Structure 1
């Protein structure tokens, strides 16, 4: 094997493995960088819009600063609305959760099955412990929030510089590879960013649509905790396939003690919602930008959970997107090199014969 012909691909594979390993050895650092990258992808269109209308007045730095200020203002508004409408309902839901699970024990189908009865008892114990821990550990929660706030500030600054100097950083990183591969690496970076952008925007739209539809259904049926189940269903969309399934099961099961007559209707609602989302809305939104098979998604989510827990489930699909694009680039480069070698073997003998 001619390693010189494939040196860029080899370096690319080694660097990719090294970067992925940082999530195992330096998770906090890796999460901050990766979340900053995703946030930059979301805010980049806003910055481009500002530059388009204020082309002769603003530099990249000023446009990036305005973009971050708008984002922070929007985030504060969202958190204010969330604290007034969602948090009281969520607090009541956490307090009532042990009673809701306790009511499940009175259902005949659970009493007839020893396995289900055992699982419900275990769930009840966990829910009681979970709710009591939340109510009694306000100080720990406050300290945790403060720690996450520091991480949030770091993410804001990193995102600002990615917006301001993103192209320069991209060009610098491409310059670290062999000079002949500069254009290839720049194109690869663009493909990765476009793939991640398509994924994150599609997921945000899916989360919003799912949350609104679930909230409308629970409100129209008079079911309690509409905002809680809407939030959980929307958030679950960030874990494709497995997330919506778990959220649907959770919402249906907790309908049993609150509105037994609506259990089958709620189950049918979640099934229809899931099918419409992932067979009609999701393909229409994302198109062919991120072409992933459900098996790859499921295995990636499971592996992410095994390695990094909940954060790994959230980051699994973006990782698969990046790896898929890199593998595709390496494969195409190998085909091009092999084609060039075969062409050279065909041309050289004919040239020799002509000289004779």
Structure 2
């Protein structure tokens, strides 16, 4: 095997492994880059349209400015309803857990009472700590002003000079492979854009539907369940399952019939999302098997916690596209070698 012929493939594999490992060793820097890339993928189509009439830098600045205004308005609107409800939910959660425990004791098998008592005590303490920790994390995210400013400027320069950066990176590879590397970059960015935009759309749809269901049914903590269900959609397969179980369990404190109806609602919502909404929004572009998604989410959770579960699918997409590119390049190289050998064989006329 000629190593020199496959140096581009080797470099691509090495760089991909290096970038993925950056999320483990330099998490803060990696997340700044990832969030900047995320915003770039979301806003770049708008900048492309505006840049036809305005200078690219001015178009990028205007899009970032209006994005910040819209984001601030949405955040203010959501927080005005969510934060008070979430605070009340944390304060009342021990009472909710105790009521749920009593409900299970009444309707559940008596021989499991002792084991369930211990389980509920542990679950109540762990859940309360987790909820408090999530609220602390939410407020600390707002306090990281410097990181937000860095993400803002990195996103601006990605929007302004993204094509130049891609061309520069592709130019670092052997000249004959420049087009191949540019095509790979575009494929990765295109797949990530489809996935991220699709997931955000599904997140908003799910949160809205859950909020309307809990509000119409006059169930408590509608905004909390809506946010939990919406955010959970960013963790494929496992996220919606956990959010559904969470909603069903806590509505069981109202009545078993309400819990059963809520279970049916979540079941219908999940099936509609996964069989109708997701295929139409994301389509078959990613072409990932559910087993690969589940294992990737579990592994990401083991390595990086909730952030790893969120990043699992984008990383799997990048690895899949890089491996497919390397495999295609090798197949093309082997075909060229076969063709050159066939042409080099002497024909009957050439033989003495």
Counterparts in 2 of 1:122-133, with a 5 A limit? Answer: 122-130=122-130
- Cα displacement string for residues 302-333 of structure 1 (whole angstroms, at most 9, x for unaligned residues): 11111111110111100011111111100110
State whether residues 90 and 128 of structure 2, in contact with CA within 8 Å, keep that contact through their aligned partners in structure 1.
no
Query: Residue 237 in 1 paired to residue 236 in 2?
Result: no
Structure 1 counterpart of 2:253: 257
State whether residues 195 and 282 of structure 2, in contact with CA within 8 Å, keep that contact through their aligned partners in structure 1.
yes
TM-score (normalised: structure 2): 0.94
Structure 2 counterpart of 1:51: 51
Query: Residue 20 in 1 paired to residue 20 in 2?
Result: yes
State whether residues 110 and 116 of structure 1, in contact with CA within 8 Å, keep that contact through their aligned partners in structure 2.
no
Q: How many angstroms does 1:257 deviate by?
A: 1.0
- Cα displacement string for residues 165-187 of structure 1 (whole angstroms, at most 9, x for unaligned residues): 00000000001111110000000
Distance 1:279 1:133, change over 3 A: closer
Distance 1:12 1:60, change over 3 A: same
TM-score (normalised: structure 1): 0.93
Q: How many angstroms does 1:100 deviate by?
A: 0.5
- Mean Cα displacement is larger for which, 119-128 or 233-242? 119-128
Structure 1 counterpart of 2:39: 39
SS at match of 2:284: coil
Structure 2: distance between partners of 1:354 and 1:200? 60
Task: Choose which of 192, 197, 201 in structure 1 pairs with 2:193.
Answer: 197
Count, aligned residues: 348
Structure 1 counterpart of 2:96: 100
SS at match of 1:254: helix
- Cα displacement string for residues 199-239 of structure 1 (whole angstroms, at most 9, x for unaligned residues): 00110111011111111111111111111101110100000
State whether residues 218 and 226 of structure 1, in contact with CA within 8 Å, keep that contact through their aligned partners in structure 2.
yes
Query: Residue 312 in 1 paired to residue 286 in 2?
Result: no
Structure 1 counterpart of 2:283: 287
Distance 1:261 1:73, change over 3 A: same
In the alignment, structure 1 segments of 5+ residues that lack a partner are: none
In the alignment, structure 2 segments of 5+ residues that lack a partner are: none
Structure 2 counterpart of 1:268: 264
State whether residues 223 and 259 of structure 1, in contact with CA within 8 Å, keep that contact through their aligned partners in structure 2.
no
Task: Choose which of 338, 341, 345 in structure 2 pairs with 1:342.
Answer: 338
Distance 1:40 1:299, change over 3 A: same
- Mean Cα displacement is larger for which, 43-52 or 203-212? 43-52
Structure 2: distance between partners of 1:248 and 1:350? 70
Structure 1: distance between partners of 2:179 and 2:274? 36
- Cα displacement string for residues 61-87 of structure 1 (whole angstroms, at most 9, x for unaligned residues): 100000100110011101210221211
State whether residues 90 and 132 of structure 2, in contact with CA within 8 Å, keep that contact through their aligned partners in structure 1.
no
Structure 2 counterpart of 1:228: 224
Q: How many angstroms does 1:279 deviate by?
A: 1.4
Structure 2: distance between partners of 1:158 and 1:236? 27
Distance 1:235 1:348, change over 3 A: same
Structure 2: distance between partners of 1:214 and 1:166? 38
Structure 2: distance between partners of 1:141 and 1:43? 24
SS at match of 1:106: helix
- Mean Cα displacement is larger for which, 150-159 or 181-190? 150-159
